Every structure is written in C-alpha cells, then in structure tokens.
Amino acid sequence: MAVTVKLPVQLRPAAGGAAEAKVQGATVGEALESLFAAHPELRERIADGDGSLRRFVNVYVGGEDIRYLEGTSTPIADGAELTILPAVAGG
Amino acid sequence: MAVTNLRCRECGATYPLDARYACERCFGPLEAVYDHSHLAGGDVAELRRRIQAGPQNIWRYADFLPLAEGPPGPSARLASRVGLPAGCTPLIRADRLAGELGLREVWVKNDAANPTHSFKDRVVSVAAARARELGYQVLACASTGNLAGAVAAYGAALGMETYVFIPADLEEQKVLAAGVCGTNLIAVKGSYDDVNRLCAELSGERDWAFVNVNLRPYYAEGSKTLAYEIAEQLGFELPDRCVVPIASGSLFTKLAKGFSEWRQLQLVSGSEPIMSGAQAEGCAPVATAFAAGQEFCTPVKPNTIAKSLAIGDPADGPYALELARASGGQVEAVSDEEIVAGISLLARTTGIFTETAGGVATAVLAKLARSGAIDRDERVVLLITGDGLKTLEAARDTFSAVAIEPSVQALDRALAAGVA
C-alpha cells in the first residue's frame, strides 16, 4: 500500500527538508517503519527507546487521531494520508 | 529584558526566542525561561513599589513576561493606552458564597471583567505583542470561543489582520462577538480538537502568528499575570488554594508558575497554593486520569455544555496532573446539571454571572467544600474566567418571570398566589 506521510516543520530537517514522504505499509506502524527506513533520523525524534510513539507526538489517519482508532495497528488503505503533528498546540 | 530563551520541558533543549512551540528533538513543549537574578536578593519592598507604580493592566508585570523589548507602546507610562489593555480585574471577597459552602474565606477573581470578557485577553495581549516584535502581520488562533473574540478584538485594536478558527457548533454569542470585529472567521466542521489539528498543520504552511500554536510559549505566559494579580490583591500573600477550570491545562499550570516565581523572589509570603482543577464530566480527560492515577491523559470526544473547556486532547494534561498531585490538590469533574447549578450559585451569592466554565469551577468548589476536601479555614480563590452573557443558553429555564397587567392589584394577586 502506498501511503503519504505529511511531516511537520519540526521534522523536515531530519527528512532532507521534505514536507511529505511516500511510504509503504498496511498499518500505521508499518508505514512509520517504512518512513524510518527512508529517513533513519526520524526514528529517535518521534519514537521512544521501546519503539512506541513519544507522548507528545500525535499521528492522524485521514484527520482522525490514531488513539481513537487502533493506535499503530490501525489499518490504512492504499493512497491514505498520514499526518504527524506535535501534541502541544491549543488551549 | 529578563526573558532569555525557550526551553523544552521534557529534554531541556534550548532555542532562541522565535516562533516555535515544540522541541525538534522530542516534540516536548517549549517554555519561556527568564533570568531574574537582577531582581533577586535586592530590596523586596522596592520591587513591590515598582510593580505597584506600574500601569493598571498586565504590563505592570512586564519583568515577568516574555517580551524582548518590554511593554508595548511609546513608553512604559503610556503602555496602559496601547491596544486593548487587559488585567487588573477585581478580586472580590465572596462571604455569602463562602457561608453557603461552610467555608471561612472565599475570593472570586472575576476575569470576565477583561475587555472581551474572558481571561484570554491576558494571553492574547502577550502573544500579539510578541508577534509584532517578531514582525508578523497576521494573528490567528484555534478557539473554543473566548479566544476567538480576544484575537479578533486585539487584531482590530492593533491593526493586524486576523484569522480565527472555531468549531462550527459554537455558541452564537461568541461567534457574534468575534465576527463584529472584522476578523476572517472560519467555522470548521468538527470538534475543537479537529480545529486544533488543522491550525497545527497550517502553522507550518502560513506565515501567520497562531497565538496558541507557534506563539504558544509566549501566549501561555500571559496566564501568569492572574497569579501575580491575585497575590498583589491579597497584599503580596499567597492564597491557600485556587479552584481553576481546566481545558488544555495551560492556565492551571501557569498560575502555579506565577506563584512559584514570586515566591522564589520572596515577593510574597505563604506556601505554594493547593491547586484544584475543574472539568465537565462530558470532557474530563484530566479528571479521569487523575482518578485513575495515570501520568497522562487518554483523549476523549467532548459532549458538554461547557464548550470553552471542550478540549478532548489537553496539551498540558500531564503537567496539570503532576501539579494537582504535587500541590496536594485534585482534578474533579461535574455534570452539566451541576454546571448550571454552579452558575446559579455564583450569581445568587455574588451577583457575578459567569459562563459555563465558571459554572464548572463554582460547582467543583461546592463539591469539594461539601465533601470536606477543603478545610474550613483555608483562604480559597475561585477563578472565574468568562462572562455569562457569552453562554446565555445555560441560564435559560433556571427561573421564571411573573407576567402581570400593569396594576397594583395584579401584582398583589400574583404575589398572594405565591408565584414570585
């Protein structure tokens, strides 16, 4: 499955300046692994030592927070859009 | 000025004072850091006099705010006349409310007395001033309502274009109060959390100062002025407890930061206050995590009449939890019925008509008092952050009017019938 990952400004320097990345995966977790394979520096930015997402990182599939879905196990369709954003905005 | 840089609350990485809000290394929130060494160890009485001689608005606390060039305006003396001055709202001793709750001393900090009738004027004042220092032409925000009105109004006062993003189902009074100021009002089909996500995305694409996104470290500091004011109004003494509504948790945590800063400088006497947070049951991610003993919040889909507190994914949730626990306080939730009863209780004992967020705070105060969680002898400050005229629906059907013919007899008959 081809998936587009939209990267926030804070992560773009670690992805060669790109605002988005084309990756492969049938779940959010697989898509993120594919992203890390292409841009290894991104792994430590958004994932903890044990591989889970850092607590101030939000990931959305088609605009929905994956915490309301099945987390990193959330299935994604071909052509889906994944968005990574810092969690500290608003209020 | 005293502000030196931004620092990540999680990993400690430091950044220059520009428009950024999340750490590039770990995504943790950035916070303004100050060097107050020039104020420390000096003559406390002199420092107090200097504050007291300042303008009658938040710029009297400019030493503690993150502006590089000091208070806006041609001079500090004229600062009170620039833009739309916020702050210096009344702190009222509410003996009738205290009496009803079996407490000795309750004070109401009525921040509805700000220019756009909510505490958001404090944070927007600081964010707008910093946005201008950084050269921005456009102000923007993601709002649950009160912020929309504040950004629209401050943009109008300062001659800045504004884009205000709100959930489409917002109370009409808040939409009207923002729209009349000539803002670009964008009603997003979705919840506040959807609006917030959109604005976080937009902040990377547009050269706009989103007050509560890319300017958030500056914006949030504005809430500290509530702590300074409360302390100053109590004669440079700290209260024993504050009861505070929680949406993102920013006001809650920044109040404590304000008290703590002044305590470190020995400007105030007393211990750091117990912090009691207030949420609506229909959107209680922080209260739920508090009760469950968790260190961070599980996001929720809000469903409550307290729309100004309807943030399902609170940015400062983990820090609010930490503070409630460390200060010996708690985070409590109340039902929509209790919120309406809270609005009525405050109105009939103090004459202050608050919006639903104030109803939440008042209802939580009542709940804590009645359960014995608050010691009778505590000096308690209740934070009222917004005006009842902005959520009029909540007061509907809480009373009835008596309709009579225009005659003395008609009044006598109505009163005899016991309808009034």
Per-residue pLDDT of A23-77, as tens digits, reads 999 999 999 999 999 999 999 999 998 889 998 999 999 999 999 999 999 999 9
pLDDT of residue B74: 59
The three-class DSSP label of residue A37 is: helix
Q: Residue written as tokens 């938040």?
A: B58
How do residues B263-290 score in pLDDT, each as one tens digit? 999 999 999 999 999 999 999 999 999 9
Rounded distance between C-alpha atoms, residue B219 and residue B406, angstroms: 53
Residue with tokens 């489409």: B168
Residue type, B52: Q
Mean pLDDT of the region B247-262: 98
- Annotation: CATH topology of B91-117+223-395: Rossmann fold (3.40.50)
B221 part of contact set with chain A, CB < 8 Å: no
pLDDT at site B34: 96
- Please give the class, per CATH, of domain B120-220: alpha beta
Asked if B146 and B309 count as a contact pair (C-beta separation under 8 A), the reply is no
What are the C-alpha distances in Å from B373 to residues B94, B186, B270, B324? 19, 43, 20, 14
Q: For residue A11, give the chain B residue with the closest CA.
A: B24
Contacts of B193 in chain A (CB under 8 A): 65, 90
Q: Quote the strand ranges of B270-392, DSSP E.
A: 274-280, 330-334, 379-384
Residue B337's H or E segment, with its range, is helix B336-350
The mean pLDDT value for B214-237 works out to 98
Would you state the structure tokens that stand for residue B46, as one six-digit string?
A: 């002199």
Chain A contact present for B299, CB below 8 A: yes
- Residue from A56, A66, A82 whose CB has the most chain B CBs within 10 Å, to mutate: A56
Calpha distance A14→A34 (Å, rounded): 15
Spell out which residues of chain A touch residue B247, defining contact as CB-CB under 8 Å: 91
User: What pLDDT sits at residue B185?
Assistant: 97
Q: Say how many CB pairs under 8 Å bridge A and B.
A: 97
Contacts of B314 in chain A (CB under 8 A): 91
Nearest CB to A90 within list B22, B23, B212: B212
Q: What domains are there in chain A, each with its CATH number?
A: 2-86 (3.10.20.30)
Q: What is the pLDDT of residues B32-71, one digit of tens each?
A: 999 998 887 778 999 999 999 999 999 999 999 999 887 7
- Does the fold of domain B120-220 match that of domain B91-117+223-395? yes
Q: Is the CB of A90 less than 8 angstroms away from the CB of B298? A: no
Q: What is the mean pLDDT of chain B?
A: 95
Mutation test of the interface with chain A: which of B15, B21, B24, B27, choosing the one with the most A Cβ atoms within 10 A?
B27
C-beta atoms of B197 and A58 within 8 A: yes
**Shortest alpha-carbon distance between residue A39 and chain B (Å):** 15
Domain ranges for chain B: 91-117+223-395, 120-220
CA B35 to chain centre: 25
Segment B159-186 shows an average pLDDT of: 96
C-alpha closest to that of B231 among B254, B253, B255, B251: B255
Beta strands in B251-300 (DSSP E): 274-280
What's chain B's Rg over C-alpha atoms?
21
The answer to whether B380 touches B361, Cβ cutoff 8 Å, is no
What sign results for the dihedral spanned by CA atoms B113, B117, B123, B129?
negative
Per-residue DSSP letters for B209-241?
EETTTTTHHHHHHTTHHHHHHHHHHTTSB--SE
